[in-house]
Structure 1
């Protein structure tokens, strides 16, 4: 239950952040940086009599069907929810703060801030096994069946749209959009990696038994024990190795400082952990 609530909250926060980047920076500047939104902007530019909303509905309907068939009901259900929520939040922004022109005149600033904000939000949504529809679904399919990182998969899915954006809005806008999806690739993968980051800890201490028991019973993490000889002292020592998240590392570090101030601790960052007690990463 707690995990589901956490997932729900992270997805909602991600959608809110993503909508802010789209509405206040990318859409007003005509920066069609991929996605069904970008596709709809391009088609509407070429065929003004076709509503952007209609294009998005038809495109998303096809992609939603693929999400359910190829990825599963859980992902498909959350994707539909996220897609409607994103549209709803943008609609609320339109009512609360209507925009008739970009807030910032500089197109590069719109691109930088729009992509940064949108990418953070999108990374949060992807991390919790959802998407906002559109080419996000195509990216998830590529990720599942071809094991391509989500950010890179999204770049592949959006590249064609950006190409046509260049034809519709001009080569300059197309190049800006290309720069945008490249940056988006990097940001999304970094956000997901940040959520997945764990700490690999090795502890050498005279109080190894007490520390080991604390990690197992208080932190609820497994440990691996090694026995080694000190290169200088020649004394036999027990080495504790464990993988924990950042909050758990802080608790362990504080406990070790109190229990054995002379303990030796090394810490390494791990970006993917598979196995019991850890969620499978994207």
Structure 2
């Protein structure tokens, strides 16, 4: 089973890297999109560094891999090693494939190329992040930021990408940078969606009521949800109030609120989004 999981993870790393390579080869480089990532850095500094784009991507990818080895550890570096090979090789292959198409096939409005590049790159990065790997390149600084600040992986990538675009702003001007921001935004959304794909969306409900026992009984016996009772003290009254905390499926919220209002119309309810839930009593609960 462990070997099968390893094989699956490696396949996801390869697939994620190939998606990013497709976005770079068919959308970013042909249209000079100031997006994030190594390709964005290459586009930004191309006027200052007269080196072929593919070669420059290879140099930056290897350099950042060494940075990841120092800050993210040997295990992470071992997984990223595969990306460091697949990503530049993928770009080289897809660059050849690109030349097989009629000239101008993938030349389009910059904003359109920016959106599609962001979506495809974000999906590829998110797939790699799901197995704790990286496509190499500029997402390594992003994961270092995520490790030491606990900012979400998608937002960390967005921060690094914005810094890359600011570099492009200085060199290329305002309009290309604004188009790049569009790519960064779509990439960040796609990363977070890909990371959470297949997980169970849920809601965390916290209920304060004098009739908390009845509410607890309803949650446990009728809705068959697990319940935690927290100790609460009113900030103004300084009186003790038990707080009923329960994680429910989104489709159960309307029913729960109606029942709570039926039990106690003055109950205080707080509802928060929960991106991921695992464990007996929820993951394996009733649908």
TM-score where L is the length of structure 1: 0.68
Query: 1:24–1:148: structure 2 CA closer, same or farther, 3 Å change rule?
Result: same
- 8 Å Cα contact 2:68-2:77 kept in structure 1: yes
Q: Does 1:228 align with 2:230?
A: no
- Name the CA distance, whole Å, in 1 between partners of 2:175 and 2:223: 58
SS of structure 2 residue aligned to 1:113: helix
Query: 1:193–1:229: structure 2 CA closer, same or farther, 3 Å change rule?
Result: closer
Query: 1:185–1:229: structure 2 CA closer, same or farther, 3 Å change rule?
Result: closer
**Per-residue deviation, 1:151:** 1.3
Deviations 1:93-122 (A, max 9, x none): 222331654514222221111211121111
Counterpart of 1:105 (choices 108, 111, 129) is 108
**Per-residue deviation, 1:228:** 3.3
Residue number in structure 2 paired with 1:158: 161
Query: 1:52–1:16: structure 2 CA closer, same or farther, 3 Å change rule?
Result: closer
- Name the CA distance, whole Å, in 2 between partners of 1:52 and 1:91: 10
- 8 Å Cα contact 2:118-2:185 kept in structure 1: no
- 8 Å Cα contact 2:115-2:182 kept in structure 1: no
Deviations 1:162-186 (A, max 9, x none): 1122233332111101221122122
Counterpart of 2:27 (choices 15, 21, 25) is 25
User: Which aligned runs of 4 or more in structure 1 are off by greater than 3 angstroms?
Assistant: 50-62, 99-102, 195-200, 227-230, 236-242, 266-270, 273-276
**Per-residue deviation, 1:152:** 0.9
Residue number in structure 1 paired with 2:93: 92
Query: 1:168–1:101: structure 2 CA closer, same or farther, 3 Å change rule?
Result: farther
Query: 1:61–1:106: structure 2 CA closer, same or farther, 3 Å change rule?
Result: closer
Unaligned runs of 5+ in 1: 201-226, 231-235, 243-265, 277-282
- Name the CA distance, whole Å, in 2 between partners of 1:181 and 1:91: 24
Residue range with higher mean Cα deviation, 145-154 or 88-97: 88-97
Residue number in structure 1 paired with 2:196: 193
Residue number in structure 1 paired with 2:275: 271
Count the aligned residue pairs.
Answer: 224
- Name the CA distance, whole Å, in 2 between partners of 1:36 and 1:113: 17
Query: 1:240–1:40: structure 2 CA closer, same or farther, 3 Å change rule?
Result: same
Deviations 1:39-74 (A, max 9, x none): 1222221232x4445543443344222312221222
Query: 1:68–1:237: structure 2 CA closer, same or farther, 3 Å change rule?
Result: same
